[in-house]
Amino acid sequence: MTSTTTEDLRTAVVLDAARAMAEAGGPLPTPELARLAGVSERTLRRAFTDLLGVGPRAFGQAVRTGAVRGLLRDGAPVTDALLGAGFGSVRAFYETAGETMGMPPSRYAAGAPGEQLGWTAVRTEVGVVLGVVSPRGLCAVRIGPEVGPLLDDVRAEFPGALLDRDDEGLSAIGAALGALAAGHPAPALPLDVRGTAFQARVWDALTRIPLGETRTYAELAVEVGRPTAVRAVAGACARNRLALVVPCHRVVRSDGGLGGYRWGLTVKRDLLAAEHAWTAEDDVEVAG
């Protein structure tokens, strides 16, 4: 067996295991990963250590916390990001990167150097809603009590970008975000989606949930063709960077519980209540 063949096999093992953890949104038991990759646990651990410098559990934790993207900014090879994103080859990564990340991988790795991002903020009943726009479309929407921490979060994600406030130029964006926060319909907005291929499928399905309705995580998993990937769907919802516009607040648990929400369960509850109230009023007007 040549060294090239050995490295190819190790890469295949790591890819299989990394893809599973990317879809699950975090670490999986080593025995399960070894079974999926078709190797022993010892071989699995050695492959991860040799290729990535960390074990499978540490890599899974990086997936859960978003640290895989941080590895990119620290200068790790783009192939490491490929593993974290769950793509099967470097070619596949580059073929889909424009659609899923909104910019070439190398530019994201460098923190979007020199990219011009405009932003605006509106105060709503659920808090301040901050929208960030790239030349391709809306790339971030944050909700919180104050603008400052939200803007700091965006700067941390795109440390090399140039951020300019433009309330007048982005007034239509602000109005649309304000309407969504009030539970009202809004015009479709151009989106600059930045995530993995699986996350993009989940986020697309979220945009098809009608105003005033909800879906369970299990129903959403069926919608994206992965009925057993409920945990992975929940992970994709948690990593949604476009609050309101990609309405992850419309996904609830099978037992009727709200589940999680990055911006707080009070905000999620208020958004759903506002949407239900709006659709109820609309139904009354139609009946009348």
The residues carrying an active-site annotation are 248
CA distance 140 to 234: 19
* 3-state SS assignment for residue 78: helix
CA distance 117 to 173: 13
CA distance 60 to 26: 5
Query: 162-165 and 116-124: which strand pairing?
Result: parallel
H helix or E strand, kind and range, residue 134: strand 127-134
H helix or E strand, kind and range, residue 238: helix 230-238
CB-CB contact of 14 with 47 (8 Å): yes
Residue from 208, 211, 235 nearest 223 by CA: 208
Query: 215-216 and 162-165: which strand pairing?
Result: unpaired
Provide the token pair at 234. Answer: 């929940």
Query: 137-144 and 162-165: which strand pairing?
Result: unpaired
* 3-state SS assignment for residue 162: strand
83 Cβ contact list (under 8 Å, min separation 6): 14, 15, 18, 19, 52, 59, 68
Provide the token pair at 72. Answer: 């990119």
